[in-house]
Structure 1
Amino acid sequence: MGSSAALLLVLFAAIGLIVFLIMKVRLHAFLALIVSCMFVGFATGMPLAKIGASIEAGMASTLGFLATILGLGTILGKMLEVSGGAERLARTMIEALGQRNAQWAMMIVGFVAGIPVFFQVGFVLLIPLVFSVALETGLSLVAIGVPLAVTLMTVHCIVPPHPAAMAIALSLKADVGKVIMYGLLVGFPAAALAGPVFINLFGGKVDIKPPAHLAKSERTLDAKLPPFGITLLTILLPLLIMVSKTIIELNVPKDATIMPLVNFVGNPITALLISVFVAYYTLGFARGFTMNQLTAFTEQCFGPVAGILLVIGGGGAFNKVLIDSGLGNEIAKVLTSMHMSPLIMAWIVAIIMRFSVGSATVAMMTAAGIITPVLQAYPGIDPAYIAVAIGAGAIGFSHVNDSGFWIVKEYFGMSLPHMFRTYTLATTVAAVLGLAGIMLIAQVVG
């Protein structure tokens, strides 16, 4: 296919095929991405052998590093779960801020506890406490729970070491420490304004109470929970290590004697490995768990991440096929001709894909494949900005094609109109604020 129009038509058809296979055929996202890879290869006239090789190379380059990161991060999240660390964080924050400010407390807890765990895991992990606090305070589940859910989704999309956020950072060759710093700077105000502030202003009329049979006595005894300080340090340790590496790099000459050690310790694999062993002690041995139990917990946490790994790998394969087929160059020509900010461009592509397919991970990986070729025309822009912009776009427009949407709806017993007016709208507000935040940082930092 020679013409630009025909190549772009293939791109739109490939995206439409992904949406159709996921939404209508109910095919797993990984299979949908691989089928779309082959469709692009066939439609653009790639040699048959090259199609398979391109898919293989895309999977390998994406997962070669990320599989290790995801495995280690999952262990950290599991230790937070089994130790009661998440509940400790929530109780301490509620005691500090007061029960009437429980929605702010849950937002902060969601931001911290959401760093090492997936959205669904974090939500299910904290939902008993949401019910309990709602019973104690008389506040609506919406007022407490929606800020938590929006915050978990925000962290999920823009803060490594979450798998999609990390995959985007690696795909764009961005500094992971910078992505973490910018993600935190953008994500916290976005979650605060889209969560407690937005819900107080616009979600107050949705008054839903928790099931009456839930009682405070069901909560874990305080003495059985780990200390607040050590729990917080354990969760934040990998971020602190990776961000410290970036800060040192900005202030110390590259040829300094200490830099090889800094680069080794600050590598995401090393940082997470250190954090896992620290968690084994602080949230494991120190809580009375045996080595056999820790081994069992570790084994339990690997199975559920297989699907996420395959989806991310499929996204990497799709990105590689777009480039190898020549579609990447055509995408770059068209998008650069629009003279639009690459941050806005990346955000728009991500939020459209999020609206279309539901999965934030698929939206982010697909958006990265479309945007990567465009960045050649903007050599001066920091790819960390693009990574956060893509993540911000993937937060928004959570609706009926998103599994997270249904988890929130069913746990809170909300109607679809209530969900659209609160959770869907709040995620979209967070997405817009995320874009505004990263654009502001880009202007200030340069």
Structure 2
Amino acid sequence: MPVFILLLGIVFIFVLISVLRLNAFLSLMLACIFVGVAEGLPLMKVIASIEAGLGGTLGHLAIILGLGAMLGRLMSDCGAAQKIALTLVNKFGRKNVKWAMALTGFIVGIALFWEVAFVILIPIVFTVATTAELPLLEVGLPALAAISVAHCFLPPHPGPVAIANIFHANIGLTLVYGLIISIPAVLIGGPLWHKLFRKWSIEIPQGLISTKIYKEEDLPGFGVSLITAMAPVILIIGSMIGEHIVAKGSGAAAFFKFIGNTDISLLISVFLALFTFGLQRGKKLPEIMSTIEASIKAIAMIMLVIGAGGAFKQVIIDSGIAQYIASLMVGVSLSPYVMAFIVTAFIRVAVGSSTVTVFTAAGILTSLAAMPEVNKELFVLTISAASMFGLPPTDAAFWMCKEYFNLSFGQTVKVVTGMTSVIALCGLAGVLALSLVIH
């Protein structure tokens, strides 16, 4: 019954958004109430879950999304995104830009959380698509696949690191095996997956990119454009290196940890962009501030939709559906890797959040991890892969992809949910293949 109610809730969202054309935020609010009440939560508990889920999601993402939008709009309005896009097109050729975007996404995704990598890459994706006159999905999906794979399989991302710590797996070996699995997963989930949707014509959302096309001589240099755009990555990687060089507990270590925080690194990068993309190019501060204000206006509804997605997730968690789904799998006789994948994937679809999924699954699957035939590093990657499966509307990332890529609810399910499922299955296939030679 709980699973049936969850499915009804997802169908309810689809009908409201795709059939009745109701605003996504309002649709999600109604779905939260419907699922919460149907699952037996008291009315005031439903409200508390909505507030906790929305606040918890935006509490984490609001700063990242806001600062990321500012940085992206500054890049776009001064021509920096256009300069990066032109350079990629010229170096790789129009036909190979998708491979360049996959490589860029993978490099950025290794160091940054998924949300941060997404908001940094999205203005470059938009401008590359516009400059090269390529379909948005042809440019965007390879980058999206790459940052998703990095988030899923590679330490130092919190998912694989947390699971490795729980099961006492070797982080270094987990990274090595994850890199091996990542390469085919990116290729299949990105450039090859796009071929199924190459005939789709998707427009870039209004307000998220400058419509002005600059002459070559008016563009900022490629070096300053790239360094400013990649400043968050540089700061985070630099802080990681710095923390290992200086003495633990020292003032220098605290400083490196501070600047390596994703919020602070983006804040520093925005102020750098104010100078390199604004003041240095002769713009006055009031003109630059109008760009900042416009960037926030453009993502206001996106932030509300993402927050509502977090509220829906919290209602699902508080109703206990994850534990119910896990209990259904008890007693099934399968390979421990396949079993772990199925249990984790079911939880993922139910609760949405990949972070919640890995911790819930890790607690349930402890006995499987202790089996003598199980390689702990591969078991970690199995759970990590399954936590990416079937990106559901209970995950804020679903709504980020939907809104930024200007997709309908159904298109998002086909393109993005399908892509994450393919990546997850590639991960399971990679684990099973490696398990034949690694014990």
Do they superpose with TM above 0.5?
yes
Measured at CA, do residues 93 and 240 of structure 1 come closer, stay the same or move farther in structure 2, by a change above 3 Å?
Answer: same
Residue in structure 2 matched with residue 38 of structure 1 by the alignment: 33
Measured at CA, do residues 101 and 371 of structure 1 come closer, stay the same or move farther in structure 2, by a change above 3 Å?
Answer: closer
Deviations 1:380-421 (A, max 9, x none): 8999986776557549xx9xx96788779xxxxxxxxxx9xx
Residue in structure 2 matched with residue 356 of structure 1 by the alignment: none
Q: Does 1:296 align with 2:290?
A: yes
Report 1:89-168 matches (<5 A): 89-97=84-92, 101=96, 104-105=99-100, 115=117, 117=119, 124-131=126-133, 147-154=138-145
Aligned pair partner of 1:327 in 321, 327, 339: 321
Displacement of 1:323 in angstroms is 2.4
Residue in structure 1 matched with residue 262 of structure 2 by the alignment: 268
Residue in structure 1 matched with residue 17 of structure 2 by the alignment: 22
For structure 2, the residue ranges without an aligned partner over 5 or more in a row are 109-115, 152-156, 165-170, 202-211, 370-375, 393-397
Residue in structure 2 matched with residue 79 of structure 1 by the alignment: 74
Query: Could you tell me how far apart the structure 2 residues matched to 1:111 and 1:344 are?
Result: 26
For structure 1, the residue ranges without an aligned partner over 5 or more in a row are 1-5, 132-140, 161-167, 209-217, 354-362, 409-418
Measured at CA, do residues 319 and 96 of structure 1 come closer, stay the same or move farther in structure 2, by a change above 3 Å?
Answer: closer
The alignment's TM-score, normalised by the length of structure 1, stands at 0.65
Native 8 Å contact 1:346 1:367 kept in 2: no
Native 8 Å contact 2:357 2:387 kept in 1: no
Native 8 Å contact 1:347 1:389 kept in 2: yes
Residue in structure 2 matched with residue 310 of structure 1 by the alignment: 304
Query: Could you tell me how far apart the structure 2 residues matched to 1:294 and 1:23 are?
Result: 38
Displacement of 1:34 in angstroms is 2.0
Displacement of 1:440 in angstroms is 5.6
The more displaced of 98-107 and 109-118 is 109-118
Residue in structure 1 matched with residue 206 of structure 2 by the alignment: none
Query: Could you tell me how far apart the structure 1 residues matched to 2:269 and 2:256 are?
Result: 16
Displacement of 1:83 in angstroms is 1.6
Native 8 Å contact 1:22 1:32 kept in 2: yes
Residue in structure 2 matched with residue 212 of structure 1 by the alignment: none
Query: Could you tell me how far apart the structure 1 residues matched to 2:2 and 2:40 are?
Result: 11
Residue in structure 1 matched with residue 5 of structure 2 by the alignment: 10
Deviations 1:9-61 (A, max 9, x none): 32222223223322322223322222222122212322222211121111111
Residue in structure 1 matched with residue 422 of structure 2 by the alignment: 432
SS at match of 1:241: helix
Aligned residue pairs: how many? 378
Paired letter, 1:304: A
Query: Could you tell me how far apart the structure 1 residues matched to 2:313 and 2:229 are?
Result: 32
Report 1:107-256 matches (<5 A): 115=117, 117=119, 124-131=126-133, 147-154=138-145, 190-191=185-186, 220-246=214-240, 255=249
Measured at CA, do residues 318 and 233 of structure 1 come closer, stay the same or move farther in structure 2, by a change above 3 Å?
Answer: same
Residue in structure 2 matched with residue 374 of structure 1 by the alignment: 361
Deviations 1:107-163 (A, max 9, x none): 6578789946488765543333213xxxxxxxxx57xx7641322443675678xxx
Residue in structure 1 matched with residue 113 of structure 2 by the alignment: none
Native 8 Å contact 2:79 2:220 kept in 1: yes
Measured at CA, do residues 189 and 301 of structure 1 come closer, stay the same or move farther in structure 2, by a change above 3 Å?
Answer: farther
Measured at CA, do residues 297 and 94 of structure 1 come closer, stay the same or move farther in structure 2, by a change above 3 Å?
Answer: same
Query: Could you tell me how far apart the structure 2 residues matched to 1:243 and 1:392 are?
Result: 28
Identity across matched positions, percent:
29
Displacement of 1:374 in angstroms is 3.3
Paired letter, 2:236: M
Residue in structure 2 matched with residue 286 of structure 1 by the alignment: 280
Measured at CA, do residues 115 and 373 of structure 1 come closer, stay the same or move farther in structure 2, by a change above 3 Å?
Answer: closer
Measured at CA, do residues 88 and 67 of structure 1 come closer, stay the same or move farther in structure 2, by a change above 3 Å?
Answer: same
Residue in structure 2 matched with residue 358 of structure 1 by the alignment: none
Native 8 Å contact 2:31 2:312 kept in 1: yes
Query: Could you tell me how far apart the structure 2 residues matched to 1:345 and 1:245 are?
Result: 36
Query: Could you tell me how far apart the structure 2 residues matched to 1:41 and 1:20 are?
Result: 18
Aligned pair partner of 2:62 in 62, 67, 75: 67
Displacement of 1:106 in angstroms is 6.1
Measured at CA, do residues 323 and 148 of structure 1 come closer, stay the same or move farther in structure 2, by a change above 3 Å?
Answer: closer
Measured at CA, do residues 404 and 36 of structure 1 come closer, stay the same or move farther in structure 2, by a change above 3 Å?
Answer: same
The alignment's TM-score, normalised by the length of structure 2, stands at 0.66
